[in-house]
Amino acid sequence: MDDNIQYVSVLQYYEAGVLCSLRTNLLGLSNHFLDVEVTPSNAMLEYWKRNFFMVLVLRALSLTNCSTDEEIPEEWLLLHVVQGQIGAGNYSYLRLNHEGTIILQVLSLKGDADIYVSSLTLNPTFDDYELQSTTCGLDKVTIPHDFSRPVGIGIYGHPYHPESEFELKVYYDETVRKDHFARESYDPERLEANQKQQQQTSLDSSQEEESILWTILIGILKIVLEILF
């Protein structure tokens, strides 16, 4: 028990030292940018400026690294929404059978959940995957339409958090399908082939009609010749 208490105490002192070092560096950085000479008359003003600068820096870092909002295009069709919990260092696995281009978005509601995807294994990990996203906010992975199905999806709980809660949204990108149909509709080679086929069909029909007419005429001539002779 004493060893555990001592370990926690040392850890707290170490963390305090790191925080003090970080605070000292930030204060030094703020002095460099603010360029304010500290005197007894403006000591309080300098203190508040330093703290305000630290808040701005930390806020900017959090907005840069942990973005959770993203505009959803109209062409994305929402297929599924899955919510779950995952322990530190564990995986939660899902299987995707839907064809086409699929977009997976994982939002960490609590802690930090990362996503790993593979078409070669149904149990992808951070050592065995084809696609992955490991941000601290919104993770996004696009699965190409030519990926073989089923696709294995692994949600990983970051070990820094005892438990992570996540929300997985599965979107189907209709843009690829529309473009594919458009290319087929306006394919010059296919249009030319269809026109040739139609022309050949009409030519065959006209030749068949002419053949029938000649057969009838020859039959009539034979009858006339038999009557006359």
Annotate 153-210 with DSSP letters as a single string. EEEEE-TTSSEEEEEEEEEEEHHHHHHHHHHHHT-HHHHHHHHHHHHHHHHHHHHHHH
Give domain limits for the chain. Answer: 2-65, 76-173
Mean pLDDT of 208-226: 76
The predicted pLDDT at position 223 comes to 82
Question: In this predicted model, which residue has the larger pLDDT, 62 or 79?
Answer: 79
pLDDT at 40: 46
205, 208, 209, 215: CA torsion to nearest 10? 180
The lowest-confidence range among 32-41, 197-206, 218-227 is 32-41
pLDDT in tens, 2-41: 443 333 333 333 333 433 344 434 444 444 434 444 444 5
Looking at domain 76-173, its CATH architecture is Sandwich (2.60)
Residue type, 110: K
Across the range 166-175, mean pLDDT stands at 95
Predicted TM-score of the model (pTM): 0.53
The predicted-structure confidence for 83-136, as pLDDT tens digits, reads as follows 999 999 999 999 999 999 999 999 999 999 999 999 999 999 999 999 999 998
Q: What is the pLDDT of residue 5?
A: 31
